[in-house]
Chain A
Amino acid sequence: MLIPQKHMNLELSTIRVTSVLIELFKKNKIVSYDFTLKYLESILGRKARYVFIDSLNILFLMGKVEYDIKKDSIIYIEK
């Protein structure tokens, strides 16, 4: 995941996926779960979905995103 490894595909690394998500959230403060996933897949391909949750987890740990279960959306927290 975060720690680089010999066979890692850099295009699908958590750092690369997280950066794509940050770009999306910077433009849209609330984005639906589905749209977020579709957006990611449209940029990095279908395999990006396996890293999607890891990237969201990193952003959550850093306090950058939250999940609104009623709206089924990711909320970006800017500080």
Chain B
Amino acid sequence: MKLSRIYSNKEEIFNSIQFNDGFNVVFAEIKHPKDKTKDSHNLGKSLLIELIDFMLLKKTLTSHFLKKHYDLFREFEFFLEIKLNNGKYLTIKRSVERSSKISFKLHDDKYQNFSNLNDSEWSINNEPFLKAIEKLDLYLGFDVCSEWSFRKGIGYFLRTQKDYQDVFQISKFQSGEHKEWKPYLGRLLGFNDKLISEKYELEKDKEKLENFKKGIEEKLYNKREDYDKLQSLIKFKESEIKEISSKIDKFDFHEREVSINTNLVEKVEKEISEFNNQLYNIKYDIEKINDSLDRKINFDLERIKKTFEEVEISFNEKIIKEYEDLLEFNKQILTQRQKDLKKRLNELNLEKESVLTKLKNLNMIREKNLETLRKKDSFDKFKEYQKELSKTEGEIQGFKNQLENLNKVIAIENEIEQKEKELETVEKQIERCINQGTEIAERVKERFTKIIKSVLFKQALLHLRINGEGNVEFVADFYKISGEKIEPTSESEGFTHKKLLCAAFDLAILIEYSNNSYFRFVYHDGILEAVDPRKKIIYLDLVKEYCKTYNIQYILTAIDSDLPRDENDNLIYFNESEIICKLSDEGNNGRLFKMDLF
């Protein structure tokens, strides 16, 4: 697949560009070298590669210049004519406004202008974006890495300035995972990409399992070695449950309550009532006696005598008793009575103490019985058993969960172990494959080394190795060979040398697949910038030769300060036929898009 023509519905703003079959230059020149307000940058060299990428169905991100300056480009419709590997041409139509609808037109002749074509005249009209990629894949008919879409590898052949940082991991793969590009690259070098993919899949599976295990382990309070302990605990707790359950089953509240009630009411309450009566009586008597003792009237003999005499005078005939009898009567009432009352008081106090003690004891018994009835013995105990039962059941459930989680952890660990074994096998297989090498890899490596040697006169190697994580690593570097020792140098750290390593790799791949159906073009944006002038000549000669020999289309962008110089320091200009687009610092007319800077 090669690029043939790119044009738009606004020819006056964006002039169509027709690509050569072989060598192409997008050239920016300085026509006003003394005008320091102008420079040869910002003319649109790099925009062209972005536009081609857009036309080859790059998903438009907001950072793309057509999206960023949507108002300026909204009305644009772009057309990219490509030459298919079967010799036919395909024009891709994509508008800025409806960038997710793609149209295709298959045709036999090159350099067509379909900007005014009716919708019905397109072979495929307004195809949704993802389907359009599928369709384009079919049109391209690649027989190299055909399991992937052409979009996967396109970055290697549309190298922007950002894509020279790493030979293999181009900018679009920088943020993604290695599995996104390493299998593709492995396949491109003839290796079994399935093994590389499998390695990543296994690693991903292992990581998932490890995370899953970690999640479970966070909820685990026991370790693997506690397995047997947990089992024993469950058995022990289950026997406890049985015991508690049987206790609960045997519980007879009725019988217990009835027996307690009878005891309480019939015996204790009755006794208490009797003793209370007794106490009341005693207290009453004591009160009476105290009262009587308070009302003390003394024995007065004179007064008694006087009473007798006066009664004798007044009621002589009616007197029945003798003076002595009266004396005795008074003694009884006033003296003897008090003695008896005091004696009785003592007796009553003793009696009171005894009754109080008995009552106290009986009240204690009653209280105890009541407590037993209400709380302690039956209901509370039952509740206690129930609590114990549910607590034990909860504990068992907890232990069972722990055990289940431990089982899961063990199962996951086994799975992880299995994955590790598989990983080890795959790693060994990958290593074996790498060590054995492939014919394709050998040829690509050889060509890569040859290109660098030819241009820079330095030893560069392209090779694969297994890194510390057991993954394939693609390496392209400069080496110093001293005897049997190969040592890497730090030359590839320089941006210029790194660029040439990238270019050499891209060319080596293109050459390798020049007889296949694959990309047959490469676009190197600013490849000559800062390269040594002598190396530029060698490089350009080599590229032009490859274009002819291997039917490769090569596109580069250059500014006039990038032009190579001969041995007399004279500029060597590109042939006019090689320059497909000329940009300059002559205002809007010199830019790719003939409009004000944006």
Contact = CB atoms under 8 A, between A and B. Distances in A.
Interface of A: 1-3, 14, 33-34, 37, 49, 52-54, 56-58, 60-63, 66-67, 69, 72
B340 A1 contact: no
Given A37-B295, A53-B297, A62 B307 contact: no
Contact of A61 (B295, B326, B334): B326
Interface residues of B, number: 30
B14 to A, nearest CB: 137
B315 interface: yes
Given A56-B333, A72-B340, A72-B341, A49 B320 contact: no
B15 to A, nearest CB: 143
Contact of B306 (A1, A60, A69): A1
A25 to B, nearest CB: 15
Interface in B303-340: 303-304, 306-308, 310-311, 313-315, 318-321, 325-326, 329-330, 332-334, 336-337, 340
B569 interface: no
- Main secondary structure on A side of the interface with B: helix
B235 interface: no
B329 A57 contact: yes
B335 to A, nearest CB: 11
Interface in B292-308: 292, 295, 297, 303-304, 306-308
A50 B310 CA distance: 17
30 contacts: A2-B314, A3-B314, A14-B307, A33-B333, A34-B288, A34-B295, A49-B295, A49-B297, A52-B297, A53-B330, A53-B333, A54-B303, A54-B307, A57-B304, A57-B311, A57-B329, A57-B330, A58-B315, A60-B325, A61-B308, A61-B320, A62-B318, A62-B320, A63-B320, A63-B321, A66-B329, A72-B292, A72-B337, A72-B340, A72-B341
B291 interface: yes
Nearest to A57: B307
B326 A62 contact: no
A62 B319 contact: yes
A2 B306 CA distance: 10
B314, B320, B333, B337 interface centre (most CB from chain A within 10 Å): B333
A2 B319 CA distance: 14
Given A49-B295, A57-B329, A61-B307, 12 more contacts: A1-B307, A2-B311, A33-B337, A53-B303, A53-B333, A57-B304, A61-B320, A61-B321, A62-B311, A62-B320, A63-B320, A69-B340
